[in-house]
Amino acid sequence: MWVRFVGRRLWQTAPVLIGVSLIVFLTMHLTPGDPIEHMLGRAGSVTRAQIEELRAHYALDRPLPTQYALFLGKAVTGDFGPSYSQGRPVVEVITERLPATLELTLFAFVIALAVAIPAGALAALRPHRLFDRTATVVALLGVSMPGFWLGIVLMILLGLRLHWLPISGRIDWALAPESITGMNTVDALLAGDGAALRSALAHLILPAITMAAPMAAMVTRMVRSSMIGVLGQDFVQFARARGLPEWRVVGKHALRNALVPTVNIVAIQTGMLLSGNMVIEAVFQYPGIGKLAVDAIAAADYPLVQAVVLLYAVSYVGLNLAADGIQAVLDPRVREARA
């Protein structure tokens, strides 16, 4: 049954990945201008023969389906060719920026859940009372606020007015630790460098909060409604009747069951987190994948755009797959229903 479940989910993912790659490939071919001209840039005089040679080299003279197959084959091995704007292999440029985005996303993820799960659970314990109402209003603001604007308002208030936090970049350059993982906080910890760690954390807080806001809002609502449903069920009453302390009834029995349906929302929202990533990094001038994508679009660096879009899409699909997997582990009913 397990094999069937996993196999079926993977099988369902295949058309998605093919669809994504096809769209990415086709958008590249709808781009105005000739890729060869982009590649040569302002390199000056090139002969017609040289252009033809490059065209043949990149298989641009072959029919579209052949080109797609070649593109797919190369994409799987991470070969997206050279970046127009940086002249280096796309994969090199991306690998360089990836740790920054992973670090930011991880922080945003942790912040969102650390806020949303307790807030949702507390709100559910006393529905329609002060805390619940406050949480509902804040959550509504969270989903109604454009992320880029929240980021700018936080920058103005906490950065420029109160001078509590830096408003852009990743770390004080003077303090930057030697790069081991590429994640500044981890590298600072490994080096035992307290000042660098503080600087890295201070730079992370605002973009991470901004990125976490819509996810925290959605998850809070989900945990709340799921928890209210669970608290009314027999097994919770039974746990209470057995004389278990309330914190155990709520914290262990109720919360654990309330979180099962939440996993799906969390995964979907993590995917949204990735979407928001681009906007947030652009706002905070945070040198990660998102800012790379925005800059690549501005520079018409299509191979780079292509690779980044594909990377986001594959991560998104992977997250959805992971969510189904986790849910199947937590709840056997899901396994049977979808197998």
The CB-based long-range contact list for 133-138 (8 Å cut-off, 24+ gap) reads 135/220, 135/224, 136/221, 138/217
Stretch that binds other proteins, among 60-68, 91-99, 182-190, 291-299 (CB under 8 A): 291-299
Q: How far is the CB of 327 from other proteins (least distance, A)?
A: 16
For residue 130, state whether it binds other proteins (rule: CB under 8 A): no
Nearer to other proteins, 137 or 191 (CB): 137
Nearer to other proteins, 29 or 252 (CB): 29
Confirm if 230 and 236 have CB atoms less than 8 A apart: yes
| Angular region, 81: left φ>0, alpha ψ -120 to 50, beta rest | left
Out of 1, 4, 19, 34, the only residue in the binding site for other proteins (CB under 8 A) is 19
Stretch that binds other proteins, among 42-50, 81-89, 101-109, 135-143 (CB under 8 A): 135-143
Distance between CA atoms of 309 and 293, rounded to whole angstroms?
8
For residue 68, state whether it binds other proteins (rule: CB under 8 A): no
Q: How far is the CB of 136 from other proteins (least distance, A)?
A: 9
According to DSSP H, which parts of the chain are helical? 2-30, 35-40, 48-57, 64-76, 90-125, 130-144, 147-154, 184-191, 194-231, 234-241, 246-248, 255-284, 289-298, 302-330, 332-338
Q: How far is the CB of 217 from other proteins (least distance, A)?
A: 11
For residue 212, state whether it binds other proteins (rule: CB under 8 A): no
Stretch that binds other proteins, among 1-9, 56-64, 114-122, 296-304 (CB under 8 A): 296-304
Confirm if 320 and 271 have CB atoms less than 8 A apart: yes
Q: How far is the CB of 99 from other proteins (least distance, A)?
A: 20
Confirm if 187 and 177 have CB atoms less than 8 A apart: yes
Q: Cα-atom radius of gyration of the chain, to the nearest Å?
A: 24
Nearer to other proteins, 141 or 241 (CB): 141
For residue 155, state whether it binds other proteins (rule: CB under 8 A): yes
Q: How far is the CB of 195 from other proteins (least distance, A)?
A: 25
Confirm if 140 and 312 have CB atoms less than 8 A apart: no
Binding site for other proteins (CB under 8 A): 12-13, 15-16, 19-20, 23-24, 27-28, 30-31, 140-141, 143-149, 152-153, 155-156, 160, 225, 271-272, 274-276, 278-279, 282-283, 293-294, 297-298, 302, 305, 309, 312-313, 316-317, 320
